[in-house]
A and B are shown apart, each in its own frame.
Chain A
Amino acid sequence: MSTATTHTAEHPAGEYHGGLLRWLTTTNHKDIGTMYLTFSLIMFFVGGLMILAVRAELFSPGLQLMQPEFFNQLIGVHALVMIFAALMPAATGFANWMLPLMIGAPDMALPRLNNWGFWLLPPAAILLTLPFTLALFGIGDGALATGWTFYAPLSVQGGMGVDFAILAVHILGISSIMGSINIIVTIFNMRAPGMTMMKLPLFAWGWLITAFLLIATLPVLAGAVTMLLTDRHFGTHFFDAAGGGDPILFQHLFWFFGHPEVYILLLPVWGLMPHVLSTFSRKPTYGYKAQVYSFIAIGLLSVVVWAHHFFTAGMPVPALVYFMFSTMAISLPLAVLFFCWIATMWKGAMTFETPMLFAVGFIVLFGIAGLTGLILADVAADAQYHHSYFVVAHFHYALFAGGIMGVMTGVYYWLPKWTGHMYSEKLGKLHFWLTVVSFNLTFLPQFFLGLAGMPRRIPDYALQFAEFNAISTLGAFVLGFSQLLFAWNIWSCVRGGPKVESRVWEGAEGLEWELPSPPPHHTWEIQPVIK
């Protein structure tokens, strides 16, 4: 991209409200993106506080702080909050802010729907957490205590917290589906003239596949929890063998959504990585086409591998073998991605600003998630690892080091573009090192705990697990409190700081860097033409 002509004439048509009304009524993709990201940050701390309580309980053997029922509620709601209210909204916030800027669109294609998609989130978050408050007033017995997976028959027998979670999942699902439809339509219909699909930024490609996965799988989750609801209150027998149903049916339906959900959380991050790596290596992205085809291959494979989440539940051997090999097949396109990321950096003039630190940290730690995932995919080995802390460590390497650290990469990379100010590089680097060290301190011991046989979702444990659990808890508290640096850094960057140019990073390429920082309220009202 050589010449930069920006067209940012203020649009006279909009009657813009000030104050709270602006945020309630907005149809502007940047406002909505900001709301998504703010909501995500708040819920990140809410979910984090829940799990710090859990880690405090696990600091030493025995029950110190809470009853097992409350412990179970905390882990389940922690997972639902982190997945649906922290990670997914962060990715949607990125999409809202950046997709129109990157593809030269005047806004998202369906702006009012976009606003609705966001405003469904707070009611859902309230529904998820309200049972805790109600229990304080003697109504019900707290939130869902089944873990985030809602497995029948436990969830069929559970208290009213399960109903709250079911309805919350319905509303979150509607929100994500509306967001996905909007993103697909935006990418298909709003690209700048001349931007063919194979010139699309990889971030947009990653999100496009994510959106298709959400459309394919979230309705199935909605169906599954609806069956759960009717089993609980309207006498059906979907998950009850006495009526000809089967509890394992729930696991099939849940993981048909649940496995693609992992890629839903990760694909936006994989899409953003090449941009960051290429910027700070001052080199074009290596293997654009290979990455696009890998995204597509991973998207397709992800919907046909779900049963590896319950190898031990009982399945015919041919099914076990099929799900094992199809799961392992995902590592091939994923390895292509890793290769492209590394090749992008190779021979590059690399500099290590905070986003680049997070990106490189992401590659190393997410690599561990991928390799331990291969171990879990092995049917024979999985019998030992299943439902142990090994699994907990594995998916936190995937979803914290892969998901959350990927989101942090994006936040540091784009924050100067959004605010027009540079964040404190010193605090950013401190935040990175504290996060990486304490993250490994928290989760590396959990691999060994799992290998030694410690089951997950248990508030008490045998004495031989005490040391590693204590280390893990210490790490978790450092990890949790280091995130205050992150929040503080963002806050002070929003408030002020050194002004930045339109091209914030000297190696950055793409339409978004041709716009001023911060970009005006409406951008690309006259679309650029890509040659």
Chain B
Amino acid sequence: MKTSPAHAEHYFVPQPSLYPVILSAGMFLLAFGFIQLINNFGPGKWVMLGGTAVILYVLFGWFGKVIGESQSGAYRDWEDRSFRYGMIWFIATEVMFFAAFFGALFYVRVISVPTLGGMEGAHGFSLWPEFAGTWPTSGPKGATFTPMGAWGIPALNTALLLSSGATVTWAHWGLLRNQRSHLILGLAATVLLGSTFLGFQAYEYHHAYTELGLTMGAGAYGATFFMLTGFHGFHVTLGTIMLAVILLRSLSGHFSADRHFAFEAVAWYWHFVDVVWLILFVFVYWV
């Protein structure tokens, strides 16, 4: 291995910044306040509020700074590649986060519920003779509830999310061809479809809690249903906010046909959320 000087390109190393440490302080307050709230001591709500304010301050400041750097041309191909790799592996962690909850769903459906229902055969006795061990269930001692059907709102929501995936790609084509109105129209449609999805989801939750008796406490079904759809809904919310930011940036003339990492990162995120929904629709609502 020999070395010689040749490569003259400079990588962009940002100035020292206070944002990371302030963000950590905000997250500490949020976590500590949350612990106080669920354990009934201290001014939990207010600590959480303070933490959220700090986090919001950092989000605006930090992203503002990054957008400023991007607009000033600090990022070239080398930095751009770093961001792309970074976003890909960040989405990979999100995939594994959902995998944990899907794993829990498959475990209860394939292993724990049938076992609880079928102890008689294997062990010659049954703790709960009246429990059939079929899905959906709230368990041997759970409350009665009506499971969520697949072909009402959920099917509609599937259509909404799939079309939003199409509109964001359509917007990308507009950006690549330098047709700004095409880009903005596509993004606006995507934000609209995302928000409509969230509205329907909120209605569905209301319906589940008030009319179906389907709550987080409704045994294994309620737990997996609400945690999976809930975390997915949270990600859709984040994605919609991110798309809205991209829309606003597009309106102020940001992004060019050859340099628009932020747009692509949000689009990737949106497609990821889309794919999670498809799996969710099949295994939580449908089969």
Contact = CB atoms under 8 A, between A and B. Distances in A.
Direct A–B contact in complex, judged by CB atoms less than 8 Å apart: yes
Nearest to A24: B21
B112 A241 contact: yes
Interface string B134-174: 00011111100000000000000000000000000000000
Chain B interface, >50% SS class? helix
Contacts, number: 273
Given A16-B16, A215-B89, A527-B7, A139 B41 contact: yes
Contacts of A164: 35
Nearest to A160: B39
Nearest to A241: B116
A234 B216 contact: yes
B20 A526 contact: no
Contacts of A498: none
B14 interface: yes
A527 B78 CA distance: 13
A514 B3 CA distance: 10
B6 A189 contact: no
A481 to B, nearest CB: 33
B137 A244 contact: yes
A182 to B, nearest CB: 8
Interface in B48-74: 62
A408 B14 CA distance: 32
Contact of B220 (A1, A226, A243, A531): A243
A415 to B, nearest CB: 24
Interface stretch (B80-88, B252-260, B264-272, B273-281): B80-88
Contacts of B138: 237, 243-244
A238 interface: yes
A123 B24 contact: yes
Contacts of B90: 177, 181
A210 B90 CA distance: 15
A353 interface: no
Contact of B112 (A13, A185, A249, A256): A249
B96 A116 contact: no
A257 B119 CA distance: 30
Contacts of A530: 1-3
A2 B41 CA distance: 65
Interface stretch (A217-225, A363-371, A394-402, A441-449): A217-225
Contact of B18 (A24, A231, A249, A529): A24
Contact of B223 (A115, A189, A216, A236): A236
Nearest to A159: B39
A309 interface: no
B283 interface: no
B108 interface: yes
Given A24-B18, A216-B96, A224-B100, A237 B142 contact: yes
A268 interface: no
B3 A511 contact: yes
B214 to A, nearest CB: 13
Contact of B139 (A126, A163, A243, A525): A243
Contacts of A122: 24
Nearest to A11: B13
A199 interface: yes
B139 A223 contact: no
Interface of B: 1-11, 13-21, 23-25, 27-28, 31-32, 34-35, 38-39, 41-42, 62, 78, 81-82, 85-86, 89-90, 92-101, 103-104, 107-108, 111-113, 115-116, 137-142, 215-224, 226-227
12 contacts: A4-B3, A15-B16, A139-B41, A140-B41, A177-B90, A177-B93, A181-B86, A220-B100, A224-B100, A249-B107, A525-B11, A530-B1
